[in-house]
Amino acid sequence: MNRAFIFKVIGIFLLTMLMSWAVTYINSLITERQSSQESVKHKISSSYAGSQTIIGPVLAVPYTEEYYVKVIDNEVKKVERHKDEYIYYLLPDNLELAGGFTNEYKKLGIYKALMYQLGGNIKGSFSLPANYEIKPQHEGGVISYLPAYVSIGISDTRGINGKPELTVNSETYQFEQGTNLSTLGNGIHAYLGTLNIAATKNIHFEFKLNLRGMENFNFTPIADSNKIALQSSWQHPHFNGSFLPDAATQKITPAGFQAQWEVSSLSSSNQTILLNMLNQGWNGKSTATSASAIDSARASYPAAAQAANSNQSLESLSIGFVEPINVYSQSDRATKYGLLFIGLTFAGFFIFEIIKRLRIHPAQYTLVGLAMALFYLLLISLSEHISFAMSYLIASLSCVSLLGYYLTYVLKSKGHGFMFAGLLTALYGALYGILASEDNALLMGSLLVFGLLAVTMIITRKVDWYQISSKEALTS
């Protein structure tokens, strides 16, 4: 076998590796830009609103117990007055959330983040047991009820648009900042005044909530019966969390999505966990210890006591408003095929060179490889300013046009140059189909690679490689 042939093959292989390194460098640039995009998202969320999680509402009824204790001080009998403070927590019997999302992009320079705004209506009811099932903890103790309030946990209150109002049994109450319950974290609360437990058996509540957020929306169902119905024009929702939408009602179309959830307390331990967290997070303000407050509140919910010292967390349903394939992930996936494209092009040149007895200089191979590598740099730089589809079209047409023009001279034939340009156009078209596919990308990529290999084998099936590598074949 002729040494020139071997050196040619080794040179083409090394040149392919060099061009592959250039594509890898461009890939590292894509990773850097993607990191900058995530940094911008963090900046936008820190000044606008981040992912949102809603927990509640929870009805909190503070109360006190006054009692007298006989003590002996220096052999003198005395009667001391004590006043302990407690909080009784009540979770809804039923809870309904209905609403829709609108989406928009917030931009910072050339980068952007996907935002959403929920226009929601939340309603439900509490059932009040007789005297809250609260009994004095001490002999002769007298129970006094303080103004009750409803608390709703909202992870990022900066996203609240407007000033929502709470309607309870046809009466309107104003929300205030904070939940008054450390367990719920950030949020809002509304004071209802002192409830008349003799006349009030059920509390029906309703309020509208316009809430902004970024990328993820989470809702924690804590009622006995929870019904959630949400919709949006966003075409690529990611449903995750502990609860998925009902398959029969879930619809995802080019116009958006619709989804419904029905979650009962039998399928979730949220009530037990939340009540335990609330009891553990309460701190008494009087001579009562927090342990006595916990025991008092747990009396109405024995199940909460069983969850003590557990590491369980609340379960939520979640909707992700994330671009399934953004320009950086698409560009990154495109570079994965860089070695294949460059290698196939060089292999085609080499076979054409041998069969047609042409002499293509390594410098010409290098220029063609650089043109194909620069395609990816053009793609990522353009896609930061215009749509990915348009960026791909411009970058691929530029690359194919340049190579087609150049190859008409390298191959000494306009027909051969246009033929290679046509093959490259087909390759770039197939690659775009792979990049645009969210669910079938692996399958399409595998079929493309197999198809290209099959075509190469069919074209070269009758080639006598020993003959074409001989000295006579190379020099004739």
Say if residue 313 is in the same domain as residue 330. no
If you search the block for the tokens 């005297």, which residue do you land on? Answer: 131
- Which of residues 294, 320, 346 is at a domain's end? 320
Say if residue 73 is in the same domain as residue 28. no
If you search the block for the tokens 């949400």, which residue do you land on? Answer: 230
Say if residue 297 is in the same domain as residue 343. no
**pLDDT tens for the 476 residues of the chain, in order:** 566 667 777 777 787 777 777 777 777 777 777 777 777 777 777 778 888 999 989 999 999 999 888 877 777 777 888 888 889 999 999 999 999 999 888 877 667 778 899 999 999 999 888 777 788 888 888 888 899 999 999 999 999 999 999 999 989 999 999 999 988 989 999 999 888 776 668 899 999 999 999 889 999 999 999 999 999 998 888 898 899 999 888 898 888 899 999 999 999 999 999 998 888 865 443 322 223 333 434 343 333 334 334 446 899 999 998 776 667 777 777 777 777 777 777 777 777 777 666 777 778 878 888 888 888 888 888 887 888 888 888 988 988 888 888 888 877 778 877 888 888 888 888 878 777 776 666 777 778 778 877 877 787 777 676 666 565 444 44
- Which of residues 273, 300, 320 is at a domain's end? 320
What's the chain look like in SS3? CCHHHHHHHHHHHHHHHHHHHHHHHHHHHHHHHHHHHHHHHHHHHHHCCCCEEEEEEEEEEEEEEEEEEEEEECCEEEEEEEEEEEEEEECCCEEEEEEEEEEEEEEECCEEEEEEEEEEEEEEEEECCHHHHCCCCCCCCEEEECCEEEEEEECCHHHECCCCEEEECCEEEECEECCCCHHHCCEEEEEEECCCCCCCCEEEEEEEEEEEEECEEEEECCCCEEEEEEEECCCCCEEEECCCCCCCCCEEECCEEEEEEEEEHHHCCHHHHHHHHHHHHCCCCCCCCHHHHHHHHHCCCHHHHHCCCCCCCCCCEEEECCCCCCHHHHHHHHHCCHHHHHHHHHHHHHHHHHHCCCCCCHHHHHHHHHHHHHHHHHHHHHHCCCCHHHHHHHHHHHHHHHHHHHHHHHCCCHHHHHHHHHHHHHHHHHHHHHHHCCCCHHHHHHHHHHHHHHHHHHHCCCCCHHHHCCHHHHHC
Distance of CA 169 to the CA centre of its chain: 38
pLDDT in tens, 317-357: 999 987 766 677 777 777 777 777 777 777 777 777 776 66
Distance of CA 243 to the CA centre of its chain: 15
Q: How many whole angstroms separate alpha carbon 57 and alpha carbon 190? A: 10
214 touches 116 (CB < 8 A) = yes
Say if residue 450 is in the same domain as residue 303. no
Say if residue 13 is in the same domain as residue 120. no
Say if residue 131 is in the same domain as residue 196. yes
- Which of residues 298, 320, 342 is at a domain's end? 320
61 touches 192 (CB < 8 A) = no
Residue 177 corresponds to which amino acid?
Answer: Q
Say if residue 30 is in the same domain as residue 54. no
Say if residue 93 is in the same domain as residue 190. yes
**What is the phi/psi pair of residue 300, to 5°?**
-85, -15
Say if residue 284 is in the same domain as residue 399. no
Residue 73 corresponds to which amino acid?
Answer: D
Say if residue 371 is in the same domain as residue 253. no
Q: What confidence score (pLDDT) does residue 308 get? A: 38
Distance of CA 199 to the CA centre of its chain: 47
Say if residue 459 is in the same domain as residue 336. yes
Give the structural domain span for 20: 3-41+325-475
Say if residue 140 is in the same domain as residue 172. yes
Count up the domains in the chain and report the number.
2
pLDDT in tens, 348-404: 777 777 766 677 777 887 888 888 888 888 888 888 788 888 888 898 898 888 888
Q: What confidence score (pLDDT) does residue 56 get? A: 86
